[in-house]
Amino acid sequence: METLEELRILDREIVLLEHMSAVLAWDQESYLPKNGMNERAEQLAFLDSLAHEKITSPKIAELLDKAGSTGKNPSGPESIAFMDRAYLRLMRRRHEQAAKLPAGLVKEFSRATSLAQAAWVEAKTNDNFQLFSKHLSAVLCLKREYASCLKPGASSYDALLDEHEEGSTEAETRLLFSCLKSELMAILDKIKGCANIDNSMLHRPCPVSSQTKLARYMMDKLHYDWDSGRIDVSAHPFTTILGESDIRITTRYDKNYFPSGLFSTMHETGHALYELGINPAHEYKRTSLAKAASSGLHESQSRFWENMIGRSLGFWAQNFLAMKSMLGSAFVDLELNAFYMAINKVEPSLTRVEADEVTYALHIILRFELEAALFGGNLTVDELPAAWNQGMQDMLGLKPKNDSLGCLQDIHWALGLFGYFPSYALGNLYAAQLWEAMEKDGIKPEASAAAGDLASILDWLRSNIHKQGSIYKPEELIKKASGRELDPGCFVKYLNRKYGALYNF
């Protein structure tokens, strides 16, 4: 259809601009000198404005109408091909959402988040929340305006959750998290009565050079394509899409806790594998359809490889000796079972990215509650550090000794990514459900990992999740892949099975 081809051409220009912005943002977080920050913010704002101008173009509205897509029927007529209908639905949503946002707001938001990101790095490094607070206030104010444009008269937080997980609302998320919290606290109560696990060996000094070698080894094992990306170091690990075949990751290393870099690398590689596996039909290459279905499904892939595979005994039965040879003499006495127990120790901690599988979602629930309070008008930026500390005390029985370990530990708010945090918890739920679906299809993930066969696992994920791109809505895709709607019980069952065996409860 000629109309669809015109639409795809315009969309590809938008995607190119997004990839150009990603190049500048990647450089900003990896290599940009401090004095280059102000102009970089202007560069990013300029490109983001151009992308917004293109997606809101009257020409796109005209083409959507001509193809039969309407507000009430975004997919267009049933007579056209399924892939074309999926594309029309997605482009109608993108165009209508973007059209609600004033061009000036988009430009100012881009500039503000670029500056806030640099301020966050400085504030975290110097443990000084005041260096960041005025930037956070500016971003929050703009994001409130942003949300009110998207859904006038509705909950502003609903609009932000919907950006990352289409159809998600604060009320539904709160109910889900309330039930999940109860299940997690019940597992924690069982573990409290069990013998403690020693993980002190993980805190032995380990040179960054050794950790770098280990990170690249793990990326090889997970079948990362080095011809389509690279790994660098940043203050906060991330994955970015600089092009259809240019998916880069960053990690960070702690010389006194090597699992930090190890599992961050596996996490980000999981994200990269998803992006590298997206494969809509050729005519939809480099369009908006060639993107992940949702943030929650994206996190399912990173959490799957980081935890369900990366912390499994089967995986380490295959890779333990290789890891020891890279870590050096300080770990010569390390034993497989002791290591496996150590990396799965359940213990409330201050840092989200290093939290165990049982307590991790509690960190997410806290962030969700704080975000909801910020957008509900029940919390100010100045009150945030104290609210964070109290929330940590109530949720996990710990109080951060400084803001670097507290409300400054994550970069997301500096980037304006309010509403993203729930995706991490959803990722755990999706991942456990996909694990069960994989087993029903005859693939036993841990047995495959023990046999060194990660390719069969990746192939299943590629076929059922990755290659679909955004053809399906998230709830449709998880049902198609697993045969049922999202079921938190899969994750709870997984935790009870794994940690019941570890702690003998």
> What is the value of pTM for the model shown?
0.96
Q: Give yes or no: 268 in active site.
A: yes
What integer is the mean pLDDT of 175-184? 97
Residue 441 CA to residue 438 CA, distance in Å, equals 5
pLDDT in tens, 33-47: 999 999 999 999 999
Residues 169-178: tens digit of each pLDDT: 999 999 999 9
Cα separation, 78 vs 104, in Å, equals 38
Asked if pLDDT for residue 1 goes beyond 90, the answer is: no
Other CB atoms within a 10 A radius of the CB of residue 385 amount to: 18
Separation CA 157–CA 378 (nearest Å): 13
CB 457 within 8 A of CB 305: no
φ/ψ (deg, to 5) at 279: -150, 60
| Cβ proximity of 317 and 336 under 8 Å | yes
Give the mean pLDDT of 98-110: 97
pLDDT over 70 percentage in the chain: 100
Residue range(s) of every CATH 1.10.1370.30 domain in the chain: 170-503
**One of 268, 299, 357, 436 is an active-site residue; which one?**
268
Structure tokens at 379: 């919390």
- The residue-averaged pLDDT of 179-188 equals 97
392, 177 contact by CB (below 8 A): no
CATH number of 170-503: 1.10.1370.30
